[in-house]
Amino acid sequence: MASEFAIRNLNKVFTSQGKLPVEALRDINLTIADGEFVSIVGASGSGKSTLLRIIDGLETASSGTVHVDGRRVTRPGRDRAMVFQQDSLLPWRTVLDNVAYGLLLGGTPRAEAAATAQRFVDLTGLCGFERHYPHQLSGGMRQRVNVARALAMDPKILLLDEPFASLDAQTREIMQSELLKIWQAQRKTVLFITHQIDEAVYLSDRVIVFSARPGTVREEIPVPFPRPRELSVKRTEQFGRIVDRIWQHIEGEVRRSMGLEARSAA
């Protein structure tokens, strides 16, 4: 019971002066097992990124709790590491220095941090690019560095916020299977956020479907495919059925939010 990652009765309302409060998340309850790969999908505006930021500690919940290993978390810590959607690598640090960044902040001695960083540079296929600066890399490689930087912290939980959203379709597919390989080797608990249903199904043990405004857990769908998974699993009939089922849940939300936007624009 202690070794679990649990979110209990979590609510988030954004209030800012002179504006109506915005309810982003309502009554979220989630329990994620050790080493489980869970994805959250939902229409834009469903608060999935907000949830991830609360778990990481960048944002505080209005009410409710997040527990990791039985300890309540309220601020960033070494047990969680985030892979950001945007390009958040520090432009003035080389690949190796970016990967070592979190370790150095935490007081790991320079030589040890460099050795650890080198292991994750190798693991993510960046060998030979250690001395490059981020602007010298392609988008796919920059996201590898992003993943390596988070993994180097040896967190218990890896949080990924639409990490492949800005990549082209082919690169994204490759990165998905690479991520699975790394996960297979590292066995972290992963919470992955995406708006791409097939990405969520391919990667996850379980897909959580969020409704929009406020975000609530609408459905939990287990993904039965055995591991390790090949990319070809995406072409099977069963895969298509699961994607369809999730899409039916989301479709209404997307239409609703589009309708809302159309009305407010008129």
Partner 1 sequence: MSTATEAKSSVYEKIGLGLGQDTWNATLLRNVLSVVLLLVVWDLAARYLVQNRLILVPPIEVLRALIVDARSGEILTHSYATLMEIFVSFPVAVALGVLVGVVLSANRLVSQIAEPLLTAFYSVPMVALAPLFIAWLGLGFGSKFAIILLVAVFPVIITTEVGLRSTDKVYLEAARSFNATPLQIFTTVQFPFALPYIIGGVRVSFARALVGAVVAEFFGAFAGYGFAILAAGQNFNTARLLGYVVLLGLLGMLGSIVLRWVERKMTPWKEEA
Residues forming the site for partner 1 (CB under 8 A): 56-58, 75-78, 81-82, 84, 86-92, 101-102, 105-106, 133-136, 153
Nearer to partner 1, 153 or 179 (CB): 153
Nearer to partner 1, 57 or 64 (CB): 57
**Residue 173: both structure tokens together:** 């597919």
For the CB of residue 139, give the shortest distance to partner 1 in the complex, in Å. 15
Nearer to partner 1, 31 or 136 (CB): 136
**Residue 178: both structure tokens together:** 């690479």
Nearer to partner 1, 49 or 176 (CB): 49
Nearer to partner 1, 31 or 138 (CB): 138
For the CB of residue 80, give the shortest distance to partner 1 in the complex, in Å. 8
Report which of 159, 2, 169, 19 is spatially closest to residue 70, judged by C-alpha positions.
2
Angle at 39 (CA atoms; ends 37, 44), nearest 5 degrees: 165
For the CB of residue 164, give the shortest distance to partner 1 in the complex, in Å. 17
Residue-wise burial string across 181-216, b where 16 or more C-beta atoms lie within 10 A, e elsewhere: ebbeeeebbbbbbbbbbbbbbbbbbbbbbbbbbbbb
For the CB of residue 228, give the shortest distance to partner 1 in the complex, in Å. 30
Report which of 84, 242, 99 is spatially closest to residue 163, judged by C-alpha positions.
84
Half-sphere exposure of 37 (CA within 13 A, CB side): 22
Report which of 66, 74, 70, 67 is spatially closest to residue 3, judged by C-alpha positions.
70
For the CB of residue 24, give the shortest distance to partner 1 in the complex, in Å. 17
Nearer to partner 1, 87 or 173 (CB): 87
Report which of 103, 97, 178 is spatially closest to residue 140, judged by C-alpha positions.
178
**Residue 166: both structure tokens together:** 């800005």
65: which strand partners? 8
CA distance 101 to 99: 5
| DSSP state, residue 122 | H
For the CB of residue 112, give the shortest distance to partner 1 in the complex, in Å. 16
Nearer to partner 1, 63 or 86 (CB): 86
- Positive or negative, the CA dihedral 15, 260, 200, 36 is positive
